[in-house]
Amino acid sequence: MSATTTAVPAATRRPRPALATYVGLDLRRQLRDRVGMFFIVALPSFMYVVFGLGSDERVGSGNVAMYVMTSMATYAAVTATTTVAGTATVEQTMGWGRQLALTPLRPLAIVAMKAAVAMTVAAVAVALVFAVGALTGASGSATDWLLSGVIIWIGSAMFAIYGLAICLVFRGPNTPGIASGLIVVMAFLGNLFTPMDGLMLDIGRLTPMYGFAALAHYPQTDGWLPMGDHDPLWLPVANVLAWTVIFATLALWGIRRSRART
């Protein structure tokens, strides 16, 4: 008796969650975090200006400025998704997760909304760095430019998983900082900040950001590196796939471990 009598009013009184409204509010909150946005947008733009401004030598289908701009946009997008994913796990552990658990939202919807926020912030970061580049002399084939942007944007999702994994494995309020700090190291090893060759390049090729960065540059360079080396396409693809699997495994392990504690 109770099953049917309660189900009917419950269904009729239940409006649908307004997910877009929630994402909008969360996004606005993220974008007005000045310190966070400085590292996501302003710092990469600044580094582009320092390293890339006015370098008009040809590289592949564009110039050096475009190459540096792509590097910094990659760094910006990675920082964006890592930061958003990292703070998301902290918010969950701080009790916002319990608050959301008392709403009609399913866990999958919560993850999807956070992913939407992360990808939007990443898109903003890439767009801004590209805009600074376009205004200050980066030039190259328009299709390669666009293709790089899309690769960076989609590939940065991999680092959302990374941010999630780090914050689940090392718990605590400072972990988003640790995750962002490691990104700087990975960006160096990923050939984003200074051109590498020899042993450093061989080591770098095995590190998490190398494959992603190489793919971001591929439309412009077809795999040729600043110091004359060349990457066949399978190498960065394999790197990205392998590290995505590793990050996802770590994240899953972290989730299981956090569940086991309660």
Partner 1 sequence: MIDVAASTPAIRATGLRKTFRATDGSTVVAVDGVDLTIAPGEIVAFLGPNGAGKTTTVDMLLGLTRPDAGTVEVYGTDPGRAVRAGRVSAVMQTGGLLPDFTVEETVRAIAATHGRSDRVAAVIERAALTEIADRRVQACSGGEQQRLKFALALVPDPDLVILDEPTAGMDVATRQHFWDTMRADAAQGRTIVFATHYLAEADEFAERTVLIARGRIVADGPTADVRASFGGRTVSFRPPEDVVRPDGLDPAWLARVEQALAPLGVTGVEVSSASLEAAFLALTGDAPATAEPSPMSLDLTGATR
* φ/ψ of residue 58, rounded to 5: -75, 135
Residue 243 beta carbon to partner 1: minimum distance, rounded to whole angstroms: 31
- Which lies closer to partner 1 via its Cβ, residue 21 or residue 199? 21
Instruction: Give the residues lining the site for partner 1 (CB under 8 A).
Output: 1-3, 5-7, 10-11, 13-19, 21-22, 25-26, 28-29, 32-33, 91, 94-96, 98-105, 262
Rg (CA), the chain: 21
Residue 26 beta carbon to partner 1: minimum distance, rounded to whole angstroms: 7
- Which lies closer to partner 1 via its Cβ, residue 45 or residue 92? 92
Residue 83 beta carbon to partner 1: minimum distance, rounded to whole angstroms: 13
How far lies 218's CA from each of 60, 113, 225, 257, in Å?
9, 31, 10, 38
- Which lies closer to partner 1 via its Cβ, residue 34 or residue 199? 34
- Which lies closer to partner 1 via its Cβ, residue 198 or residue 262? 262
How far lies 250's CA from each of 76, 109, 114, 212, in Å?
23, 22, 19, 19
Residue 78 beta carbon to partner 1: minimum distance, rounded to whole angstroms: 23
- Which lies closer to partner 1 via its Cβ, residue 168 or residue 189? 168
Residue 113 beta carbon to partner 1: minimum distance, rounded to whole angstroms: 9
- Which lies closer to partner 1 via its Cβ, residue 49 or residue 100? 100
Residue 34 beta carbon to partner 1: minimum distance, rounded to whole angstroms: 11
